[in-house]
Amino acid sequence: MGKTDELVSAALGALAREDQAAFDSAAAFLADRDDADRVLVEVASRAISALWRNGWQPADVVRIAARRLTDWHGRVAADLVAWEMRAYAPATVDERWRDQLAALEAAVWWKGGYLAARQARDGAGAGRLMTVSGVLELLGLLTGLPRLESLGPPPGTARRTVRARPHAVSEKTLARVRALLAKAESTTYEAEAQTFTSAAQSLMAKYSIDAAMLEARSGGGEAPAGIRVGIDAPYEQPKAVLLNLVAEANRCRVIWSQELGFATVLGFWADLSWVEVLFTSLLVQAQTALVNSGTKKHGTGRSRSKAFRQSFLSAFASRIGERLAEATAAAVAQESASRGTDLVPVLAAREQEVEQAVERMFPHLVSHAVRTSWDREGWVAGRTAADQADLGARDR
């Protein structure tokens, strides 16, 4: 082990011990080393490669870096993930990983040494020591992360000969759905929003049922899969409840990892796609209604915005869950009548497969009661906003 490697190890050890003085000393010596750039990037690549083997995916790494540290660390994580991913042939990288890298805009944008390029991009206020310290902080985080449940093959092991998502919603369909929901979220006219969201819901509901019937006719073959959805502060509990209720209405299951800032959603691909899109849209609608509600105060003049907003979002989630359950039952009945066949057994069988997948992947699940602040006006306002939220064709 060379001197630079020893300094990196000393800095990471100091971080683990929470010894700030020792960390600052090691980082300062490291910043003066000519080979610091090469060694830090190599150590980061090894750490990221180990995370892939432990179930992490690109979006997970960037999310946890920004959550536990800062947005700057999240950007550096995206850079270093892009650098590490150069080691794999494109044919051995799962398409879901490629989608995540594209969404993160993760790319090797620099030439030469990364530290100097990162320092230049950050501007005049960033010195070499600050950049080195930031990368070391990121390494300290990445090397201490727990193992996650694997949701797909890590890079280098995927095989394109087998289609990874046989009934995933096409990008064209998802693009149309997202465009419709974006219009629904931006318009100030309720009737117009209803039209846009109804069209989006119709597309996704039909695709989901078509996929279920195709699987049933072909004798199966597709297994439940999983995605991870970020649950950001503030008010994480009601947001997680909202995601869970959206998932239940679409025959999916949610496992919330609160300390890591995400939930794992298990289900079939056609349903997973819709859960993520609908949850995102409903969050936007809830946030808009919440902002429009303004700041609330007690009679004494003391602010009660936190309790109001917590209750608002909890009530919004509760009422959305009721509406989705009702609308889903109506949609299944309508499709069963139009097709002349009972869809309930087919969909129930898929739900059972999802439950079995949850038991296999999370054999030691623990349930906890959700406790939240209470504000009567917030609860009433949240249910009212949920009644006005657009769910689409299932809500007609």
Each residue of 180-200: pLDDT tens digit?
778 877 766 555 655 675 566
Using the CB atoms, write b or e for 65-85: b if 16+ within 10 Å.
bbbbbeebbbbbbbbbbbbbb
pLDDT score recorded for residue 390: 56
Give the pLDDT mean for 175-182.
Answer: 79
* Chain segment 98-119, per-residue pLDDT in tens: 999 999 999 999 999 999 999 9
pTM for this predicted structure: 0.81
**The two three-digit tokens of residue 324, written as one number:** 């989705």
Q: What per-residue confidence (pLDDT) applies to 374?
A: 52
Q: How far apart are CA 77 and CA 63, in angstroms?
A: 9
Give the pLDDT score at 92: 94
In 3D space, the residue among 64, 394, 60 whose CA is nearest the CA of residue 246 turns out to be 394
pLDDT tens for each residue of 288-325: 777 766 655 555 554 457 778 888 888 888 887 887 78
Mean pLDDT, range 9-22, rounded to an integer? 96
Task: Give the total residue count for the chain.
Answer: 396
